[in-house]
């Protein structure tokens, strides 16, 4: 790993290798699993020593210092180029970002929707602003704790740890463009779900990495993927004589398109189904520049 400068030589860094996988015999892939998203994080992703990535660390954004030594910087891109073999004798890292682990967030959101057998109206909006509603979704899920004895614990909606987790998710969403998650997988950017879990004892910084498997780290977000759905997000582009109205949506579902002059009285424009996740509608521009509003409602 000395071919490029600024490379992280820690072979057990969770940002680019599954926890506790010290050799080829340490994998624990799922077998005979039911058809749901809970095991997505245990599917090998095709890059060295790593399964589908549900943790929050963006390796390519790393720029800190190894072991407190300011003379030994850790830069994510050179590390990832070496780790994946994208380094070909130059510092051209154009290929490396395409295989970056955080790209799995969107893949996980897509696969979760395909694997989930629940009807779309049963999904909980990943952009729901109500902390109590989030706490209710987390109630009864399991998370890993490394406190003695190390074991899964059942979450309670009224616990301080769940309240902290909900606050962390909302803080992550507030930091997104427009203050919204545009994809279900975007919620995985919340460190408290995995690498900064409030359910892990961080008083001994070595302990979580010594006792916690990759599946343990990702246990909670894996369960949440089965519960969450994304909103249908819309944009309006004005032209001289017409408007281009575009909404996102789940493939295979039908949406009612509506318009309103005042956000109170709504008129149905028709129904539509997304093509490649998008619905487009061309409409005449409102006369006299009058305000118009648009929304979609999931029909089926």
pLDDT digits (tens, 9 = 90+) for 96-143: 788 889 999 988 887 877 776 655 556 788 888 889 999 999 999 999
SS3 label, residue 196: coil
Residue with tokens 């998710």: 169
**Topology of the domain comprising 234-298:** Immunoglobulin-like (2.60.40)
Q: What pTM was computed for the model? A: 0.76
Q: Give yes or no for residue 230 having a pLDDT over 80.
A: no
Please tell me the least confidently modeled range out of 159-173, 218-232, 248-262: 248-262
Strand pairing of 63-65 and 73-75? antiparallel
Per-residue pLDDT, 1: 41
Strand pairing of 255-260 and 228-229? unpaired
Which of 128, 144, 138, 154 minimizes the C-alpha distance to 55?
A: 144
> SS3 string of the chain?
CCCCCCCCCCCCCCCCCCCCCCCHHHCCCCCCCCCCHHHHHHCECCCCCCECCCCCCCHHHCEEEHHHCCCCEEEHHHHHHHHHCCCCCCCCCCCHHHHCHHHHHHHHHHHHHHHCCCCHHHCEECCCCCHHHHHHHHCCCEEEECCCCCEEEECCCCCHHHHHHHHHHHHHHHCCHHHCCCCHHHHHHCHHHCCCCCCCCCCCCCHHHHHCCHHHHCHHHHHHHCCEECCCCEEEEECCCEEEEEEECCCCCCEEEEEECCCCCCEEEEEECCECCEEEEEEECCHHHCCCEEEEEECC
Mean pLDDT value across residues 65-79: 64
Quote the tokens at residue 5.
Answer: 């400068």
Quote the tokens at residue 171.
Answer: 């803080």
Highest mean pLDDT (candidates 43-52, 162-171, 240-249): 162-171
Mean pLDDT value across residues 17-28: 84
Would you list the domain boundaries of the chain? Answer: 117-229, 234-298
Per-residue pLDDT, 119: 53
Which one has a higher pLDDT value, 186 or 146? 186
Per-residue pLDDT, 299: 66
Please tell me the least confidently modeled range out of 39-43, 56-60, 183-187, 237-241: 237-241
Q: Give yes or no for residue 208 having a pLDDT over 60.
A: no
Q: Whole-number mean pLDDT of the chain? A: 80
- Identify whether the C-beta of residue 102 lies closer than 8 Å to the C-beta of residue 218: no
Residue with tokens 């521009």: 285
Residues 6+ apart with CB under 8 A from 137: 124, 224, 227
Please tell me the least confidently modeled range out of 46-55, 153-162, 244-253, 270-279: 244-253
Task: Compute the radius of gyration of the chain from its Cα atoms.
Answer: 22
Q: From CA 139, how far away is CA 156, in angstroms rounded?
A: 5
φ/ψ (deg, to 5) at 260 = -150, 145
Q: What percent of the chain has pLDDT over 90?
A: 20
Which of 62, 142, 73 minimizes the C-alpha distance to 102?
A: 62
């Amino acid at each position: 790993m000395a071919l490029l400068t600024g490379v992280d030589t820690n072979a057990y860094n969770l940002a680019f290798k599954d926890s506790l996988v010290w050799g080829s015999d340490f994998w624990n892939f799922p077998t005979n699993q039911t058809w749901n998203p809970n095991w997505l994080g245990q599917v090998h992703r095709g890059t060295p020593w790593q399964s589908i990535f549900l943790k929050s660390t963006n390796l390519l954004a790393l720029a800190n210092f190894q072991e407190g030594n300011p003379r030994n910087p850790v830069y994510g891109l050179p590390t990832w180029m070496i780790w994946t073999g994208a380094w070909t004798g130059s510092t051209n890292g154009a290929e490396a970002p395409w295989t970056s682990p955080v790209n799995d967030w969107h893949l996980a959101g897509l696969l979760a929707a395909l694997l989930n057998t629940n009807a779309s109206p049963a999904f909980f909006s990943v952009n729901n602003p109500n902390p109590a509603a989030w706490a209710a979704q987390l109630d009864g899920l399991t998370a890993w704790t490394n406190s003695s004895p190390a074991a899964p614990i059942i979450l309670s909606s009224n616990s301080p740890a769940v309240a902290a987790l909900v606050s962390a998710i909302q803080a992550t969403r507030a930091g997104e463009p427009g203050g919204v998650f545009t994809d279900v997988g975007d919620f995985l950017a919340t460190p408290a779900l995995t690498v900064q879990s409030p359910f892990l004892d961080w008083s001994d910084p070595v302990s979580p990495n010594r006792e916690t498997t990759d599946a343990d780290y990702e246990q909670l977000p894996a369960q949440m993927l089965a519960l969450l759905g994304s909103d249908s997000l819309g944009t309006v582009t004005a032209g001289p004589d017409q408007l281009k109205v575009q909404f996102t949506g789940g493939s295979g579902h039908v949406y009612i398109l509506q318009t309103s002059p005042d956000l109170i009285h709504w008129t149905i424009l028709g129904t539509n189904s997304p093509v490649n996740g998008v619905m487009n509608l061309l409409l005449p521009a409102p006369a006299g520049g009058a305000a118009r509003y648009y929304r979609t409602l999931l029909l089926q």
